[in-house]
Amino acid sequence: MNSNRGIEVYKSYCNGCNKPFYELMDYELEECPRCGSKDIIDESILTKQIEVSFDTGEIIVKD
């Protein structure tokens, strides 16, 4: 058994470079980290599971 916790990740889409990027709650970006465009669309909220393996101590990120 491992310990795990779900965290919410915002997925946004940049109209400047036409690529998605991700943001953590309370740390939203004002502009695209790739091209600096402020033409950003909020797309969806995903929940990622952060898991710590009790066998190896490694962090695993799951969809």
Q: Does residue 16 belong to the site contacting Zn ion (CB under 5 A)?
A: yes
Which residue in 29, 28, 26, 24 sits closest to 8, CA to CA? 24
Q: Does residue 35 belong to the site contacting Zn ion (CB under 5 A)?
A: yes
Q: To the nearest whole angstrom, how small is the minimum distance from the Cβ of residue 27 to Zn ion?
A: 18
3-state secondary structure of 21: strand
- The helix/strand count (H/E) of the chain reads as 0, 4
Q: Does residue 37 belong to the site contacting Zn ion (CB under 5 A)?
A: yes
Contact predicate 63/50, CB 8 Å = no
Which one of 4-12, 34-42, 43-51, 53-61 is the stretch in contact with Zn ion (CB under 5 A)? Answer: 34-42
Binding footprint of Zn ion on the chain (CB under 5 A): 14, 16-17, 32, 34-35, 37
